[in-house]
Amino acid sequence: MNDTHFIFERPDQDQVIQHADDLMLRANLVCRDGWDRYRHVWSCGEVVGTALVLRDDAELQRYGETTISALERWAFDLWGITAGQADTDGGLPRTRAWFDSIRAAR
């Protein structure tokens, strides 16, 4: 049996909640301290996700990303390959709503 079947399935809801909590914390740190303390310490995905939460297009551009490409990147992390592709094909409504909910919770 192939053990990679899990990558096609949606991650556990606890993982999705953990992503949200993590990005809220990172966004608060950037608002408090600025990007310079973090951009070279955090992973590219963490920086891009935080920039999405903050709607920081300049930081996305620094990493060669657009809002759309960053949302596409996160769609697969949040929903798995199958559902992430479906969300991407449909214009990313679930991923956009997820980031909107983080912004609203901040």
Domain count within the chain: 1
Residue 2 inside a domain? The answer is no
Residue 6 inside a domain? The answer is no
Residue 1 inside a domain? The answer is no
Residue 7 inside a domain? The answer is no
Chain segment 32-90, per-residue pLDDT in tens: 999 999 999 999 999 999 999 999 999 999 999 999 999 999 999 999 999 999 999 99
pTM of the model: 0.89
Residue-range definition of the domain harbouring residue 50: 12-105
Residue 55 inside a domain? The answer is yes
Contacts 24+ apart (CB under 8 A), 73-81: 73/45, 73/48, 74/45, 74/48, 74/49, 74/98, 74/99, 77/11, 77/19, 77/45, 78/11, 78/16, 78/19, 79/10, 79/11, 80/7, 80/8, 80/9, 80/10, 80/11, 81/7, 81/8
Residue 18 inside a domain? The answer is yes
